[in-house]
Amino acid sequence: MAEWAAAAGSVHRVVLASPRSFCAGVERAIAVVEQALRRHGPPVYVRKQIVHNARVVADLRARGAVFVDELDEVPDGALTVFSAHGVAPAVRQEAADRRLPVIDATCPLVTKVHAEARRFVGRGDTVLLIGHSSHEETDGTLGEAPERIRLVPDPAAAGTVRVDDPTRVSYLVQTTLATDEAAEIINALRQRFPALSGPGSDDICYATTNRQRAVTTVAGQADLVLVVGSANSSNSRRLVEVAERAGSRAHLVEDVGCVDLRWLVGATTVGVTAGASAPPGLVDELVAALTALGAGEVSEHTAAVEDVRFTLPKEVRQP
């Protein structure tokens, strides 16, 4: 804390964005691994990171979770958990072929996108998936029908993507995208494909939307916004981009130890939020450090109150 004390005097106010940190899908996924460890004991194998946060992964690893990239790293017969980001049908088939006992922690909102992909493909559409390349969620959705689903990562791709029949085309959206980013791409697609249809309800999840709305307002009040989250967290990176578009300097930090004190120079008001996969305790640690610098006022802007809860899979549900 010595170097933090050296920076004292600049920060006078901290504004917390709410909602922030864990969403219902993340809480559910973490609970799946915790319950599996409690019921079956370690090791429990998890394909990919259960959620994209280094602290969460480290804590679960310390309790006996083993994180692997692919199923060929899982021993025969070992209990296996699919992460919150979902998997392609080929992964499910591989697990079935090996007779691995599986617990699926896929977020229900991601499951919804998979179901929409199957429905759109089933009626003969080419599906345009708006999302980021090589993200686990988009990889899983693309796997529903690789020959019929095209990834559209940006407006430039929207201008060049090819479809089989321009009168039979639909779109889906990665659940963690920035809402304005997705809207720009959808508008570009509509200009090319007037018959474009979409899902009955937004694919971008409520938690992503709520956190982006909250940070937009906070960024309007702050000289600097600190977003707590891991570098591989899509929704956390989007919060940085949204804050910047709202006019504030913004940085993504894994935890309080990653804050560069030079960022605080001249920042009298600091906004703080966290991605949906970041534990609330990491925010508490950051706010405590900012308070120690002399921030005499800590306030909160609430954009929405979240009361969503998802039922656990039957394999780990309490009797």
List the catalytic residues: 137
- Sequence-separated (6 or more) residues with CB below 8 Å from residue 181: 238, 241
- End-to-end, the C-alpha distance of the chain in Å comes to 47
User: What is the rounded distance in angstroms from the CA atom of residue 159 to the CA atom of residue 71?
Assistant: 37
Strands 13-18 and 297-302, how do they pair?
Answer: parallel
